[in-house]
Homo-oligomer: A and B are copies of this chain.
Amino acid sequence: MAQKKTSLKDIATKVGVSTALVSYVLNGKMKGRISEEVANRIKQVAKELNYHPNQIARSLKTNKTNSIGLLLADISNPFSSQIARIVENEADKMGYAVIIGSSDESVEKSEKIIEVFLNRQVDGLILSLPEKSEQIVADLKSKDIPFVLLDRYFPSVAANSVAIDNFSASESAVNHLLSNNYNNICIISYDTELVHLNERLRGATEQKEINSTVGKVRLGHIQEDVECAIDKFLNTEQSIDAIFFTSNLLTISGLKYLNKKKVIIPEDMGVIAFDKTDAFDLFYTSISYVNQPLNKLGREAVRLMHQAINDNTKREQIFLLAELIVRDSTSRK
């Protein structure tokens, strides 16, 4: 703050008591051992002088800042912003403030943001890291820094993590298509090393009965690559009758292009998505999708982080189950 900050001494001088007494009262100690009148006068003067207990000074004593760093892929993406909101609420309940950062799927940017968090002496970290971040995870472990991986995890490095069971979620999406008599299924997924996304692909393709085609989309080229994948399968002899998009961004790009190509859903093509978005409700046919338990993801992440801050010797890996929301886009007529 630009102005000089009010100190305990300022309050003590104005009330005419000792600094120690002011400190005791404002920290809620010695209750019943000081007259109500003096205690109230101290509190009133503290308010008048705009006194704020200095969390910073307190931090040096307790070695805690009661703050956490939250790294997400991109806070403006609906998945990230919903998670941020839930983490913010849960963290607040436990007395932590949340400092945020977006990685933009870059390892370098992630390292830089984590360095900023650590310089600010956050008590712990909740991280959604980009691909090829194994070294970051190993470094944090070797330094004994409390952290929890959220949504993304790395099987080669054991660490606290909270994610959904992407494999079984995709499996159930594809099973749903098969049981509704869709037999030639195209899966549009990302070209990435991120394990959680590859688990979605694996869950969708490792079905015995499935006859599937896969379209791979590069991060940063979503619209272009989705269109290319759709063009390709629309022009093959094997007639695709359903598409499973493994993220909401892929779905939005795909639906836009299917509209342009005048492909009618579900008459010409069944469609199922991973994750939801408001857009699905406005599309002429309501879209079936895999619903991630975002509230539980955020709650568990904060719980594990709190646990790690207090005892960093435990490791927990949590996989939550997603549910399938069946609507009109997969109802073959």
Contact = CB atoms under 8 A, between A and B. Distances in A.
A2 B140 CA distance: 12
A312 B76 CA distance: 30
A252 interface: yes
Contacts of A100: 84, 88, 98-100
Contacts of A116: 97
Contacts of A120: 55-56, 67, 97
Contacts of A80: 81
B60 A85 contact: no
A75 B65 contact: no
Contacts of A53: 119
A331 interface: no
B67 A75 contact: no
Nearest to A89: B102
A278 interface: yes
Interface string A76-107: 11101110110011001000011111100000
A22 B226 CA distance: 54
A106 to B, nearest CB: 13
Given A55-B119, A282-B282, 11 more contacts: A2-B146, A2-B312, A56-B60, A74-B85, A76-B82, A77-B81, A78-B78, A81-B84, A85-B102, A99-B100, A280-B282
